[in-house]
Structure 1
Amino acid sequence: MGAKLTQCPNGHYYDAEQYTSCPYCQSVTSNSFNDTDRVTDSFIPAQGSGYGYGGNGNDDRTMPIDHISERQPMRYTSPTATPTAPLNQRTAVQEAYDEGKTVPYFGGFPETDIPAGDNVTTNPSFSGNVRNPKPVVGWLVCVEGTNYGHSFCLYAGKNFVGRASDMDICLKGDDSVSRTKHAIITYEPKERKFFAQPGESHELFYVNDNVVLTSAELKDRDEISVGKTKLVFVPFCDSKYGWEK
């Protein structure tokens, strides 16, 4: 059975079935200072004194805190000055989360208490953020090579093919592929056509086993060979559909 969450005036959540009042607030109150405190070496000695308070060596005597001079600032830090939320409080919130309840978050809990889940900030069919989408216009599907079974999205304009991680089509693991700009796959949105052309590499590549020295228009299911990798071209935009309207 899920916990019965109750919120105290200070914004803490606790299980009302286990506690009659907020255990978090009680832990802070119970550790507050009294009107007097033991003066020990936790205080900075007055300038010119011997040792301890007043320089008389009586480190353990008790005196009211309000009698201590402002020139003698306390550096005492209570071990519970910043109490953590009780374990049962975090458990109650976790149970509520697991049951699908909406629980407001006011701070005070470790970030790991509530699972982050899959924070999907972008659509896999888009490049960039959702507010300014860059729609996919086609794909290259690897049918041979180290990236076998993987697909790569194509976008309007030039798509650079290479082995480096900053390439639009990154063919990792194939050392026969140039690191940068081995080939270029271009989508021209006005005519809705795709082209393959050489990049800045000295290495060659092929479309349907024909070497590409200048530019070659791509058709549906054309095979592109780059190094030891073979890619199949699959268009999304064509004469029947385009994002440009």
Structure 2
Amino acid sequence: MEPLTRCANGHYYDSKKHTSCPFCGVQSLDIDIQKTMAKRPGTTGGNIGVTRPKGGSQGAEEGKTVGIFRKKLGIDPVVGWLVSVKGPERGRDYRITSERNFIGRSEKMDICIAEDETISRENHAVVSYNPKNNSFRLFPGDSKGLVYLNDEEVITPEPLKSFDVIELGQTSLMFVPFCSENFQWKKEEEE
């Protein structure tokens, strides 16, 4: 295994995969955030943001499953975040999008926590957002590792509330919803 590169801020990263520190981001870019939408890990095109034409196609591949929320809205918007409050990636945030978000160390996962070797590579846990009833849930994964919600073992799906703490491996993640009783994504013509 090749040694990792250390950035000026002390983060370690694989320089064969990244041209600069993925934790720090690229400071000198001038990006129109309205036209740029980050790709989710494991989707075609890698982890790099992709610019989409306004009102254009979302680039769905023939035969590829598209989430109902994305199909309805034409986008797959952020609905909440997980923020690492303890563990190797402390301070980092992870986007939650509609429907099921698989958590693990693999880049194939929707939420990739690569630096915590005590987290299973795939499907350690799942966070879901149901747009029909505007609710979030935490599911245990199908891996060997346990998942805890506010210090209680998760053995069946559990509802998530603002600032709940999810523990997996050596990592603790605080849940921060964006969609709630105060806001919910709608089609532009419905607004």
Distance 1:181 1:192 in 2: 23
Deviations 1:112-167 (A, max 9, x none): xxxxx737472359986534432100000000001110000000000000001111
* CA pair 190-180 structure 1, distance change in 2 beyond 3 A: same
* CA pair 223-239 structure 1, distance change in 2 beyond 3 A: same
8 Å CA contact retained: 2:81, 2:95: yes
2:6 maps to what in 1? none
1:118 maps to what in 2? 29
Distance 1:165 1:199 in 2: 16
| Structure with larger Rg | 1
5+ residue gaps, structure 2, are 1-27, 41-48, 59-74
Distance 2:108 2:138 in 1: 19
**By how many angstroms is 1:227 displaced?**
0.6
8 Å CA contact retained: 1:146, 1:172: no
Distance 2:129 2:167 in 1: 18
Tell me which of the two structures has the higher relative contact order, counting C-alpha pairs closer than 8 angstroms and 6 or more residues apart.
Answer: 2
8 Å CA contact retained: 1:146, 1:174: yes
Q: Does 1:174 align with 2:88?
A: no
Distance 1:154 1:218 in 2: 12
Structure 2 matches for 1:47-196, cutoff 5 A? Answer: 118=29, 120=31, 122-124=36-38, 129-131=51-53, 132=58, 133-196=75-138
Q: Does 1:237 align with 2:183?
A: no
Normalising by structure 2, we get a TM-score of 0.62
Regions of 4+ moved over 2 Å: 117-133
8 Å CA contact retained: 1:125, 1:153: no
Q: Could you tell me which amino acid in structure 1 is paired with residue 36 of structure 2?
A: T
Distance 2:109 2:117 in 1: 15
2:166 maps to what in 1? 224
Distance 1:128 1:199 in 2: 30
Q: Could you tell me which amino acid in structure 1 is paired with residue 29 of structure 2?
A: D
Q: Could you tell me which amino acid in structure 1 is paired with residue 121 of structure 2?
A: R
Normalising by structure 1, we get a TM-score of 0.49
* CA pair 175-237 structure 1, distance change in 2 beyond 3 A: same
Q: What's the % identity of the aligned pairs? A: 39
Counterpart secondary structure, 2:91? coil
Distance 2:182 2:83 in 1: 22
Counterpart secondary structure, 1:200? coil
Distance 1:183 1:190 in 2: 22
* CA pair 164-215 structure 1, distance change in 2 beyond 3 A: same
Counterpart secondary structure, 2:77? strand
C-alpha RMSD over aligned residues: 2.2
Distance 1:167 1:224 in 2: 17
